[in-house]
Structure 1
Amino acid sequence: MTDWTTDRAADALLDAEARRADRGPLTDEWPDLDLRTAYEVQDRLVSRRVGAGEEVVGVKLGLTSRAEQQRMGVDAPLTAWLTDAMVLPAGEPVPLDELIHPRVEPEIVFVLGRRLRGPGVTAATALAAVESVHCGAEVIDSRYTDFRFALPDVVADNASAARVVLGSTGVPPAGLDLALEACLLQVDGEVVDSATGAAVQGNPAEALALAANALAERDLALEPGWLVFTGGMTDAVPVTSGKQITAEFTRLGSVTVTGS
């Protein structure tokens, strides 16, 4: 059996991404990989990115829906990192030649106006730190074959983070009912799914608070100007060449992702 370490695991995942070659889950070869160690792998993976010149610009949440949590056997979302290299300007196509098997999901996104640090953050105090709320789309791209993984695998893999697209129109959080904010997901003009913000931990503000409190357990905080992608509102849909995927929101505008 291979002697796995956090450094070796981070290198293996980055190598799979660079070669666009999916692989089996780490837990197939490292069955003792636990959640705490998986977050250490994630941090080492992102440290490699920063060492290569990337800058951390925010976080994303995964497993924010109750159904996903039950399926994975957890009772809280997971957190992962976003860097500037993952941010795709609005209107720019998804670079399929850099990805393995990308999928797109619509999300509600916060841009922070001030630092947010747990513990004890509530949805109300979390929203007080928000400068603007946006629609967004996340392109996830697991490094594991067929998106097959256990919870420690996906945490180590930085929650399948690949690209994010931020809607151009920011709305102040005051007056928004984020639990009722609706989204229609369209593929080539046909509605394929819909959801409201309640699909995200009951309210995306709850997800933001959970992120701040979870990071505090690792002596970390959410910083001013950071993006926080709060989790998929619907199932993710594959993006392929020429396919146009649009998420249209009630008050937050719309965002379109096209494969190229």
Structure 2
Amino acid sequence: MDQTTIERHGDELYDALVARRTVEPLRLREPDITIDDAYRIQQRMIARRLAAGETVVGKKIGVTSKPVQDMLGVFQPDFGILTSGMVRGEDEPIDLSDLIQPKAEAELAFVLKHDLVGPGITPMDVIRATDYVTPCFEIVDSRITGWNIRIQDTVADNASCGVYVLGKAKGDPRRIDLTLAGMLLEKNGELISTSAGAAVQRAPATAVAWLANTLGALGIPFKAGEVILSGSQSVLVPVAGGDRLACIVGGLGGCRVSFTGRSAA
């Protein structure tokens, strides 16, 4: 795909983000689009966000579970870039009018105290470089109409990033078995799902190591202070104004989020 086409699609996705509207799936309009093309489109979209004044604050891993991989027809995770415009606080409701067609997922976030530069990063390197882990919610959002996505669509759309909320609990990953730690997800007081860290690439730190190595090969480091979202441990939950979600991780603590307003879709 030539650079002009890359920029056109990246600009289209950025404009859709700003205008709170959707676009038709890229794979249907560009049948020959590759995953590499999609990442170049993602880079253009992120460049537009940075030019508008946002900063990079971390990275996220997506498509970590086998059911989602089967749905998208890909058998490795993808990644997106977290920016300052995506950060929300646990104490303030999320205004859904900022989003288009949001869904929530619960996961673990790693907050780094040291840089990590792949390739060659192991899960133990990730643990050593981590300041703390915390439960979090990522509110994913798609600029693709009706969530009609395959891997090329979601990669181009920055791995369907929306906004995210970090919990207040801070745990030392050297003292918690993140693979076996159970997670409960509740919506409006009702249990929605249960899971364990092993649902994410067999272990959250393994998923983070994969991403550090993948980005390192592209010349993109993890930097001290960055937030790394390690991949969903829950089902995707549609949300509407008035909803309240809570996730609780055994031995660590929880994260809570509530919603007001109405999304664009």
> Which TM-score applies when normalising by structure 1?
0.96
Q: Are residue 14 (structure 1) and residue 14 (structure 2) matched?
A: yes
Indicate the larger mover: 177-186 or 12-21: 12-21
Percent identical: 38
Residue 27 of structure 2 is matched in structure 1 by: 27
Residue 255 of structure 2 is matched in structure 1 by: 255
**1:203-238 deviation digits (Å, cap 9, x = unpaired):** 000000001011012111111100000111111101
Equivalences for residues 101-120 of structure 1 within 5 A = 101-120=101-120
Asked whether the equivalents of residues 14 and 49 of structure 2 are also in contact (C-alpha less than 8 Å), the reply is no
Residue 242 of structure 1 is matched in structure 2 by: 242
**1:95-123 deviation digits (Å, cap 9, x = unpaired):** 11111111110011100111111111111
Asked whether the equivalents of residues 120 and 213 of structure 1 are also in contact (C-alpha less than 8 Å), the reply is yes
- CA RMSD of superposed structures (Å): 1.3
Residue 149 of structure 1 is matched in structure 2 by: 149
- Equivalences, count: 258
**Where does structure 2 lack aligned partners over 5 or more consecutive residues?**
261-265
Residue 129 of structure 2 is matched in structure 1 by: 129
Q: For residue 251 of structure 1, report the CA deviation from its aligned partner.
A: 2.0
Report the Cα distance in structure 1 between the residues aligned to 2:109 and 2:47, rounded to whole angstroms: 24
Residue 192 of structure 2 is matched in structure 1 by: 192
What secondary structure sits across from 1:230 in the alignment? strand
Q: Are residue 79 (structure 1) and residue 79 (structure 2) matched?
A: yes
Report the Cα distance in structure 1 between the residues aligned to 2:103 and 2:113, rounded to whole angstroms: 30
Report the Cα distance in structure 1 between the residues aligned to 2:35 and 2:81, rounded to whole angstroms: 16
Asked whether the equivalents of residues 72 and 149 of structure 2 are also in contact (C-alpha less than 8 Å), the reply is no
Report the Cα distance in structure 2 between the residues aligned to 1:164 and 1:184, rounded to whole angstroms: 18
Q: For residue 52 of structure 1, report the CA deviation from its aligned partner.
A: 0.7
Residue 138 of structure 1 is matched in structure 2 by: 138
Residue 62 of structure 1 is matched in structure 2 by: 62
Report the Cα distance in structure 2 between the residues aligned to 1:49 and 1:88, rounded to whole angstroms: 17
Report the Cα distance in structure 2 between the residues aligned to 1:120 and 1:74, rounded to whole angstroms: 23
Report the Cα distance in structure 1 between the residues aligned to 2:21 and 2:70, rounded to whole angstroms: 29
Residue 173 of structure 1 is matched in structure 2 by: 173
1:228 maps to amino acid: I
Asked whether the equivalents of residues 4 and 30 of structure 1 are also in contact (C-alpha less than 8 Å), the reply is no
Q: For residue 255 of structure 1, report the CA deviation from its aligned partner.
A: 1.0
**1:114-145 deviation digits (Å, cap 9, x = unpaired):** 11111111111121111101000000011112
Report the Cα distance in structure 2 between the residues aligned to 1:75 and 1:152, rounded to whole angstroms: 13
